[in-house]
Amino acid sequence: MSDQESTAGVNGGRRAFLGCLGGAVAATASALLPDPGRAALPASPAAPAGDAAGKHQWAFGVDATKCIGCLRCVEACKAENEVALDAHHFRTWVERYVYVEGVDEPRIDSQSDPVNIAASGSEQHYRFANRYQEEKVEKAFFVPKLCNHCTHPACVQVCPTGATFKTADGVVLIDHTYCIGCQYCVQACPYGARFFDVENRVTEKCTWCYHRITRGLLPACVEVCPVGARVFGDRNDKQSPISRFLAENRVEVLKPETGNAPNVFYVGIDKDVR
């Protein structure tokens, strides 16, 4: 399957003229022409990805000391994976932990918090509200969250049909044509990473942008993060960003007591991070 990309001359004036005449015709015609000088989209992998057994061992890292809570990752993921545009279905999200002076427990908020929804103006854009300015804040930080693609995924264990599964290269995926939508996996995930897609009536979750990583690209959230809070790579490659991240940092995982053995490694989280 080759990737057909539309093309046009660089000259805007000529384009406008063509556009006036019959943009649709031009676009169709130009869609069939090869694309001179444009960086080519890597082709989809020729062999079925299952043959990649042992070739890659994907893993993800999060440096919560760097995250600025800009939520570009959340919006990028929604754009890249066509996730429902509301504040209740996320493949990835960011939590803010704020420790106010004199209170032991942190105040935690995320994208489904009504105050944050109001700050962004709609459920289709995501921002953290500028809160707590009047309070004496001792400590505050952001923690990005996503599916942990566990080594012993509880969600895969409970799926009755085999619609969700772990690939040989370490990614937990969902077969949307096979899922019956019972949502048992949604219940089983201790991290709240899964959700029900009401439009397609199957469950969904982060796939580490499998369609990108199999082309040598980065997941969308990693691609757009401006501060490098998200790290992705192949653990089989000792020079990959994730291998270096793991070698150079003291890392931890979320809820290790579940025995799921997550593959998203965190640096800079706190005892109260859920």
Partner 1 sequence: MHPDFTAAPYIGYVYPNETVFPWGVLIVVYPYLTGLVAGAFTVSSLYQVFGLERLRPVAHFALLTSLCCMIFVPTPLLLHLGHPERAFNAVFTPHWTSAMAMFGYFAGFYVLLLMVETWFVFRPHIVHEAQQRAGPLGWFYRLLSLGSYDLSAEALRIDAKWILTLAIIGIPAAHGLHGYVGFLFGSLKSREWWSSDLMPVIFLFSAIISGVSLLTVLYVLSCRLRRIPVDADCVKGLGYTVWGFLMFTLLLEGVEFGSLVYKGREGIDMILLFVRTRLIIPFFVLQIGVGAVTPILILSYLFWRGTAGRKLVAGVTLSALLILLNVIMMRFNVVIGGQEISKTGVGLLSYPWVFLGKEGVFAAASVLVAPMLLLLMMVRLFPPWHESEPPRAL
Partner 2 sequence: MPKHVRRLILVLLGFGVLALTVRHFVVDRSFYRYGHYRADALAEIARDQPKFRGTAYCQSCHGAEYDAWAHSPHNRADGGGIVKCEVCHGPGAGRDPGHDYIHAATGPVHPQNLHLAVPTDTRALCSVCHEQIVGRPAQQRQIVIGDHAGAQQCSLCHDVHAPSRLKGAIAVASLAGSAAAGQRKSAACIACHGPAGVSAAGLLGPTLAGQNRAYLAAALAAYKSGARKNPIMLGVASSLSSTDIEDVASWFSSQKCAVVPGGAEQLAAARKAGAAMCANCHGANGVPRSDAWPSLLGQSGDYLKGALRSYASADRSHIVMSTLARGLDDAAIERVAAWYSTAACKRGREDE
Site string for partner 1, 109-138 (x = CB under 8 A): xxxx--------------------------
**With CB cut-offs between 5 and 8 Å by kind, which of partner 2, partner 1, none does residue 244 bind?**
none
**Binding-site member from 34, 39, 239, 271 for partner 2 (CB under 8 A):** 39
**How many residues sit close enough to partner 1 to count as binding (CB under 8 A)?**
52
In angstroms, the CA 142 to CA 119 distance is: 17
Q: Smallest distance from the beta carbon of 257 to partner 2, in angstroms?
A: 27
3-state class (DSSP) for residue 201: coil
Q: Judged by CB under 8 A, does residue 221 bind partner 1?
A: no
E strands, 31-154, are 58-63, 92-100, 107-109, 137-146
Q: Is the CB of 132 or the CB of 184 nearer to partner 1?
A: 184
Beta bridge pairs of residue 137: 100
Q: Judged by CB under 8 A, does residue 180 bind partner 1?
A: yes
DSSP tally for the chain: helices H, then strands E: 8, 10
**With CB cut-offs between 5 and 8 Å by kind, which of partner 2, partner 1, none does residue 240 bind?**
none
Residues 25-84 within binding reach of partner 1 (CB under 8 A): 84
Name every residue whose Cβ is closer than 8 Å to that of residue 45 and which is 6 or more positions away in sequence: 52, 214, 215
**With CB cut-offs between 5 and 8 Å by kind, which of partner 1, partner 2, none does residue 127 bind?**
partner 2
Q: Which of 235, 204, 207, 200 is nearest to 221 (CA)?
A: 207
For 103, the token pair is: 């209170």
In angstroms, the CA 1 to CA 37 distance is: 21
Give 206: exposed, middle or buried? Use CB within 10 Å, 0-12, 13-18, 19+.
buried
Q: Judged by CB under 8 A, does residue 88 bind partner 1?
A: yes
Q: Is the CB of 16 or the CB of 103 nearer to partner 2?
A: 16
Q: Smallest distance from the beta carbon of 62 to partner 2, in angstroms?
A: 14
DSSP state of 19: H
**Binding-site member from 115, 118, 180, 227 for partner 2 (CB under 8 A):** 227
**With CB cut-offs between 5 and 8 Å by kind, which of partner 1, partner 2, none does residue 256 bind?**
none
Q: Whose structure tokens read 């999200």? A: 93
For 213, the token pair is: 């990583």
Q: Judged by CB under 8 A, does residue 151 bind partner 2?
A: no
SS3 content of the chain, % helix, strand, coil (to 5): 25, 20, 55
Q: Judged by CB under 8 A, does residue 37 bind partner 2?
A: yes
**Binding-site member from 22, 31, 201, 227 for partner 1 (CB under 8 A):** 201
Q: Would you say 85 and 250 are in contact if contact means Cβ atoms under 8 Å apart?
A: no
Per CB under 8 A, the segment of 11-19, 44-52, 178-186, 212-220 that binds partner 1 is: 178-186
For 188, the token pair is: 């089983």
Q: Judged by CB under 8 A, does residue 6 bind partner 2?
A: yes
**With CB cut-offs between 5 and 8 Å by kind, which of partner 1, partner 2, none does residue 231 bind?**
none
Q: Which residues of this protein are in contact with partner 1, per CB under 8 A?
A: 84, 86-90, 93, 95, 105, 108-112, 145, 154, 156-163, 178-184, 186-196, 198-203, 258-260, 274
